[in-house]
Structure 1
Amino acid sequence: MTQADCIAAANETDWAVPGPGQVLVAPEGASLAAQIRQFDDDAGLLAFEIGGEPAAEVRRAAREAAFSIGRAFARRFALWEGPDGTPRHLLVTGHQPLLAHPGILVKTLLVADLAAQDPGAVAINVVVDYDTAVEVSAPFPSRRDGLLSIERVALCAVGYGRPLSQAPPPGAERWEAFCQRATAALESLGPEGAPLVARLARLQAVAAGPAIGRAGHLAEWLTALRHRWEAQALGEGACYLEVPMDELARTRPFRLFFAHVALAAARFAAVHNETLAEYRRRHRIRSRANPFPDLAVQGSRVELPFWLLTPGVRRRALHVEPQGDGILLSTADGPVTRLPAGSPDRLAAALEQEGLAIRPRAVALTLFVRLLVADLFVHGIGGARYDRVTDRVVERFFGVRPPRYVVASASLPLGLSLRSPEVDAAALRRQLRDLRFNPQRFVGLLGGDGKAEGEALRLAQEKQRLVAEIERPGAPRRELTRRIEAVNERLYALLEPVRKTLEARLRQAVLAEAERQASLHREYPAFLYEPVRLRRMTETVLAGLRRVDDAAR
C-alpha cells in the first residue's frame, strides 16, 4: 500500500452497523442541515457538462422529471402527492422494492422528516425496481421445539437475473399462502406473538385495498404495499414520493447521461478500474468482485456501467465499441444495435427511437442521482462504503468535487424473550481444543470412577515428567515426543466423560446463541413493529440521541 493509500484509508470513516436499539446518522445536527444547501452554496459542484450541455440544465430537467414521475405514482396509488410547484430542494434516498426492515425504513423517514422542516423541500425514494432476486421473502421469528429461531417465508419466486419490474404481482393465492405461513410462525411465539399477528393482519387489510390492485408488476406491487402501509401506520412519516428508476431512466436527462458515458467509455472504464484498484489496496481486499467487478476492456470493446433489460431474458451487462461513424452496443449474447456517435444529443435521440431499456448499475446509478437529482442523498451503510469509489470517479471523470452524502441505518430488535441462558460458546470450543492437546489440565474434572481417576493422575504426572525431560540438552526429542503423544491419547480416552459434558454444554450454548441472534435480528419486516417505535428512529436522531427508546423519555 502506498503512502497516499494509507492517508486516504485513515481519513475514511468505517461506518459500523448500529448496535441493538441504536440508530446511526452521519453527519449529525447542523452539518446534516447544511448539506441540504450544498448545491445552492457551491456552484462548482455543477461546473461540468453532460453530453455537451451545462450540467445545471440537465439537472433541472432531471429534477422536474423525477418530481413529475413521483407525483404520477402517488396519484395512481392514492398516496401523498406533494406540492403543486417544483420544489427547491429534493432530499433523496433509494432502495430495492423489498419488504423493508427498520434499518432501511429509517432512510425514508429521515428524508421525509427533514423535508417537513424545510418548506421548499420534498423527499423522494428512488425505487431500484429493475434489481433482481431469486425470490422475494422475509424473515419472521418463530419458536420451534421451545427455542426462538428465524424462519424465512417466501412470497414468490422471481428467477436468477430477472428484474423485479418484469415479474408479475404475486396474486391473491400466493399472498394468502405467505400470510398463512408468516402467521403460523408468529403464533408459535405464544402470547408475545399476538401483537405481531395483529400487525400482519393490518398489512393484509392494506393489501386487500383497491389501490394495490393497480400495480402492473411485482416491484410496483411491493412499493405500493409498503408505502400505503406506511401512510396508515406512520402518518406524516410517509410524506415522500416514490420515483421508480425504471421510469426515470426513460427520460431525456438519463439518456443524455448514458450517451455521455458511452461516448467516453474507454476513459470512464480506465477511471473506474483504477479507482477500484486503489480502493482494494487501501482496504486490503483481494477479491476482484469486491465491492463490485472491474469494467471489462477487450481491445476497443468496453463494458459500460449499465444493464440492458429485455422482456423474458435475464438482465445483461452492456458493452460498446466503435463501428464506422457509430458505436455498436452488444451483450455477451451478441450485438444489440448500432447507434450514431456524432454527438451525445443524437445518440440520446436514437436511443429513444430504439426503445432500449438501459438501466444504471451501482456506480452509474448513484452518479446520476447524486449529481443530477438530489440536493441531499441518504445512503445505507453498504451503499455509503461503495460510494467512496463513486466519489473518486466524480472527481476524475467529471472533474468536480463530489457532493456530500448522509449515512443512515438502525437496528431495532423486536424484544422477544429468551428461554436459554447465555453461555460462552467460544470459551467451550477453546476448552474442547485444550482437552484434546492438554488433557492433563482436566483430570480434576473426572469424578465418580476412582480407578479411572487414579489412572488419569498417573498419566498426568507421566506427561509432566516427559515434558521436563524433553527440555534437557541432548534429550532424544523424537522418541520423547512419541511417548508424550501416546500419553495424551490414553488420557484423552479416559477423559471421555469430560468431553461429552463439554460437548453437551457447547450444543446448548450454540442453541442459546442462535436464540439470542433471533431475538436481536435487525431484518424482520418493519410492519411487525409498533409504529411509535419506528417513528422514534428519526426522533432519536433529531433529538441528538442514539438509542431509539431514549426518544420517549
Structure 2
Amino acid sequence: MNGDAVIEVTALMLIDEFRHYSAPKSHGESFADPSIGDAGGLLRSNLSLLSQHDSSWQELRTEARRQLISDAVRYTSAYRKVELIANRDEAPIIMAGHQPSLFHSGVWFKNFVLDSLGKSHDAVAINLVIDNDAASGSSIRVPTIDKTCGEYVYQTVRYDRFGGGVPYEQTVITDRKRFDHFDEAVAAVVAPIIPHPLVNKLWQHAREAVERCGVAGCALAQARHALEGDIGLSTLEIPLGVVCRSQAFAKFLLMMLSDLPRFQEIYNSETEYYREVHGIRSSSHPVPNLASDGGDVDGHWYEAPIWLYSDAAPQRHAGWVKRTSTELILSNRMGLECRVSLDQSPAAAVEQLAMANTSELKIRPRALLTTMYARLVLSDLFLHGIGGGKYDQLGDRIAERFFGIDPPQFMVVSATVQLPGDSPSDLDARIRELKRKIRDVRFNPERFRDEADFDPVFLAEKRTLLDSVPFQDEHWLKTDKREWHKRVESINERLASQLEHVAANLQNELANAIRRRGSLAVLKSREHPFCIFPIDTLVETYKRLLA
C-alpha cells in the first residue's frame, strides 16, 4: 500500500469515530438513530451506565432532577394543564431541547417523539427551552405566489419591528400591534397555498403569553407548548434560564471553573481534532477555541464556555475566569463581574455562585456545556436534532476526558414534511434533456435535420469523417488529426448556423424549466416554519411516523 493510500485509509478510520446524520429528503419520512422502537433499550442502557457513576455524581443528579421537575411543573402550570405520572421523583427523565423560535416542522416532530417516549416508558418528558441563544431576528420567511409571474417566492413577515442579536430571554416585544396581528399577516401571505394555517390557533396562545412575559422567546415557546397541550401532548417545559439559577447547576459549573486551564486544554484539543477529521477549515466551527490572556498583571484570564449578560446589558459576551489564591473572578471584562470566595466550604462557594446568577448577572452555558449538563446530570435520555447530534459527539469526547466518566448515549430525531404540490425533482430529467439538446445543436446538428434544410453534401462529408476517426489508428499523424478536428468543427458550424431558432427555443425552454424548478424548490422546502402548515396535516403525519 502506497503512502497516499495509507493516508486515505487512516482518514476514513478517523471519520468513522463519529456518527453521520442526514435529514430525510422526501415528504413524510423520518430519521431516528437509534430507531424509536429501540429507545427503551437505549434508556435502560443509559440508566445502568449512569448508576455506575460515583456518589458525588449521584448526589448531584438527585438534587438537580428533583429541582428540575419541581421548577418545570411550576413553570408549565402557569399557562397549561400539567399531567404527571405518580412516581415522578423516581421516574426516568427523557429530555429534548431547542431555541424558542418558529422552527421548521422536522424540528417539531421531536416534541411529538418526546411525548410518545415519555408515555411509552413511564418517564417524565421535559423540553428544555434554549433561551440563551442569540435570536436571529423577529421575522419568518414564508412561501407565497408572486401575482406577476405565478411563481412560488418567499416573503418575510415580522412579529416585531426589529429584533435579534440578543438572547431569546432578552427579546422584549416593542411593537405589540404588529405582534398581535402577526397571525393575520402570515395567513394572508400563505393564503394562495394554504387556506388554514395553524398560526391562527398558535397565536391565540401567543397573545396570552406575551401578556404574561412581554418577551418574544417566552411567548413563542409558551404558545407552542400550549398548542401541544391542545393536541394532547403531555410534556413539561422549562427555560434554560430557570435551570441555571439552581444550586445544582452552580455546583456543576464550579467543577469546570475550578479546573478551567485543564478543561480549556481538553476542549481546544478535541475541537481541533474534530476539525481535522472532518476537514473543517473555519476556526469558528463547530465551536471556536477557548482563549487565554496572561496580560493582566494580577493573574491569567481563561475564557470559559459560558456567556455573561444582564437585563441592563443584554448583549452576550464571553465569560472569562481568573483564579487568585482566595477567589474565582468571573467577568465579561466589560463591566459585569462576580467573585466566588475560595476561603470557605465548597457548599458555601456553590451557594455564592448560585446567588450571583440574577437578572443583574446572567451566567449561561454555551451549547456544548448546556448538553453536557442536560445529559450527564438532568436526564436519562436526550433527543437531539441532526445538528445537535453531530456536534454533541465532540461534547462527549470533552466530557469523557475531563470528568473521567462515560457519557450516556443520545438519540437523533428529525422528519421532513413538505407542502402539497409538484416536486422540483420532477423537472430534473427534462432539464438534463434540454441541456443535451442545446449541446447537440453545436456538436451534433445533424440530429435536427427535420428542423432545417441542410446541404446533403455537408451531411455526407461529416458521416465520412465520423466513419474514419483518426484517434484509433496509429498511422495517423498529429497534423492529420488537427485537420480532421478543424473540418468537423467547420461542418458543425455551418449546420448549426441554420439552427439558431432551434437553439433560442431550447434556451428559452431551459430557462423556464430552471426558473420553475427554483419556484418549486421554494414550495417544497423542508425549512418552512411549522406554523404555516394545516395542523391536521402535521399531526396526522407525525402520528403515522410514530406508528
Task: Give the TM-score normalised by the residue count of structure 1.
Answer: 0.82
Structure 2 letter corresponding to 1:167: T
- 277, 282, 299: which is aligned to 1:282? 277
Q: Equivalents in 2 of 1:177, 1:427: separation in Å? A: 45
Q: CA deviation at 1:161?
A: 2.8
Q: CA deviation at 1:499?
A: 3.9
Q: Equivalents in 1 of 2:162, 2:70: separation in Å? A: 29
- 78, 81, 84: which is aligned to 2:80? 78
Superposed, 1:288-367 pairs within 5 Å as 288-299=283-294, 300-311=300-311, 312-331=313-332, 333=334, 336-341=337-342, 345-355=347-357, 356-367=361-372
Q: CA deviation at 1:373?
A: 0.3
Q: CA deviation at 1:396?
A: 0.7
- 238, 255, 259: which is aligned to 2:254? 259
| Contact 1:259–1:344 (CA under 8 A) maintained in structure 2 | no
Structure 1 letter corresponding to 2:120: Q
In the other structure, the counterpart of 1:132 is 134
Secondary structure at 1:46 match in 2: coil
Query: Is 1:368 the counterpart of 2:366 in the alignment?
Result: no
Q: Equivalents in 2 of 1:109, 1:327: separation in Å? A: 43
The percent of aligned pairs where both chains have the same amino acid is 26
| Contact 2:422–2:520 (CA under 8 A) maintained in structure 1 | no
In the other structure, the counterpart of 1:106 is 109
Structure 1 letter corresponding to 2:218: E
The verdict on how the C-alpha distance between 1:481 and 1:41 changes in structure 2, with shifts beyond 3 A counting, is same
Query: Is 1:217 the counterpart of 2:215 in the alignment?
Result: yes
In the other structure, the counterpart of 1:154 is 158
In the other structure, the counterpart of 2:3 is none
Superposed, 1:14-93 pairs within 5 Å as 14-18=20-24, 19-28=26-35, 31-43=38-50, 45-47=52-54, 54-80=56-82, 82-83=84-85, 86-93=89-96
The verdict on how the C-alpha distance between 1:211 and 1:43 changes in structure 2, with shifts beyond 3 A counting, is closer
The verdict on how the C-alpha distance between 1:513 and 1:491 changes in structure 2, with shifts beyond 3 A counting, is same
Q: Equivalents in 2 of 1:99, 1:273: separation in Å? A: 33
Query: Is 1:411 the counterpart of 2:416 in the alignment?
Result: yes
Superposed, 1:231-270 pairs within 5 Å as 231-232=229-230, 234-235=231-232, 237=233, 239-270=234-265
Structure 2 letter corresponding to 1:319: W
In the other structure, the counterpart of 1:13 is 19
Structure 2 letter corresponding to 1:15: Y
The worse-fitting range, judged by mean Cα deviation, of 5-14 and 271-280 is 5-14
- Flag structure 1 segments of 5+ consecutive residues without an equivalent: 49-53, 544-553
Secondary structure at 1:72 match in 2: helix
Q: Equivalents in 1 of 2:161, 2:308: separation in Å? A: 22
Q: Equivalents in 1 of 2:352, 2:237: separation in Å? A: 28
Q: CA deviation at 1:440?
A: 2.5
In the other structure, the counterpart of 1:94 is 97
Structure 1 letter corresponding to 2:121: D
The CA RMSD over aligned residues, in Å, is: 3.7
Q: Equivalents in 1 of 2:522, 2:282: separation in Å? A: 30
In the other structure, the counterpart of 2:145 is 143
Q: Equivalents in 2 of 1:38, 1:160: separation in Å? A: 41
Q: Equivalents in 2 of 1:87, 1:524: separation in Å? A: 39
- The C-alpha deviation readout for 1:7-65, integer Å capped at 9, x for no partner, is 352354322211321112221255311222345423565237xxxxx111111121122
Secondary structure at 1:292 match in 2: coil
The verdict on how the C-alpha distance between 1:36 and 1:305 changes in structure 2, with shifts beyond 3 A counting, is same
In the other structure, the counterpart of 2:185 is 181
Secondary structure at 1:394 match in 2: helix
| Contact 2:22–2:386 (CA under 8 A) maintained in structure 1 | yes
- 166, 173, 180: which is aligned to 1:169? 173
| Contact 1:158–1:167 (CA under 8 A) maintained in structure 2 | no
- The C-alpha deviation readout for 1:77-107, integer Å capped at 9, x for no partner, is 1332535753521110000001133211121
Structure 1 letter corresponding to 2:260: A
Secondary structure at 2:283 match in 1: coil
Secondary structure at 1:304 match in 2: strand
Secondary structure at 2:387 match in 1: helix
Q: CA deviation at 1:2?
A: 8.9
Query: Is 1:514 the counterpart of 2:515 in the alignment?
Result: no
The worse-fitting range, judged by mean Cα deviation, of 292-301 and 462-471 is 462-471
Q: CA deviation at 1:224?
A: 1.2
In the other structure, the counterpart of 1:195 is 196
Structure 1 letter corresponding to 2:283: R
- 387, 402, 405: which is aligned to 2:392? 387
Structure 2 letter corresponding to 1:401: D
Q: CA deviation at 1:528?
A: 3.8
The verdict on how the C-alpha distance between 1:217 and 1:207 changes in structure 2, with shifts beyond 3 A counting, is closer
| Contact 1:328–1:335 (CA under 8 A) maintained in structure 2 | no
